[in-house]
């Protein structure tokens, strides 16, 4: 599954600028630093991964075509 990062904070805007907005979902789990659930996201080329809050994401339907 893939998701698009929303530019909701400086941290996320920096990730989008460096690695693009479309990321792969690697894992969903309770993340202590978020005090709730988060997702481990990875770049499509596998060069970078990062935990993000669920609110920072928009999910992509597998039938949609995305250009980012």
Per-residue pLDDT, 2: 87
Going residue by residue through the chain (68 aa), what tens digit of pLDDT does each one get?
Answer: 888 888 888 988 998 999 999 999 999 999 998 888 999 999 999 999 999 888 888 877 655 455 54
* Residue 33 maps to a domain: yes
* Residue 68 maps to a domain: no
The maximal CA–CA distance of the chain, rounded, in angstroms, is 34
* Residue 16 maps to a domain: yes
Per-residue pLDDT, 11: 85
* Residue 64 maps to a domain: no
What is the token pair recorded at 5?
């990062």
The number of distinct structural domains making up the chain is: 1
What is the token pair recorded at 68?
């980012």
Domain that holds residue 25: 2-59
* Residue 21 maps to a domain: yes
* pTM more than 0.85: no
What is the token pair recorded at 62?
């597998």
């Amino acid at each position: 599954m893939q998701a698009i990062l929303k530019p909701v904070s400086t941290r996320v805007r920096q990730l989008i600028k460096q690695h693009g907005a479309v990321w792969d979902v690697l894992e969903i789990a309770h993340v202590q630093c978020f005090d709730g659930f988060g997702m481990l996201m990875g770049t499509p080329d596998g060069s970078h991964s990062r935990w993000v809050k669920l609110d920072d994401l928009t999910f992509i339907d597998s039938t949609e075509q995305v250009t980012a």
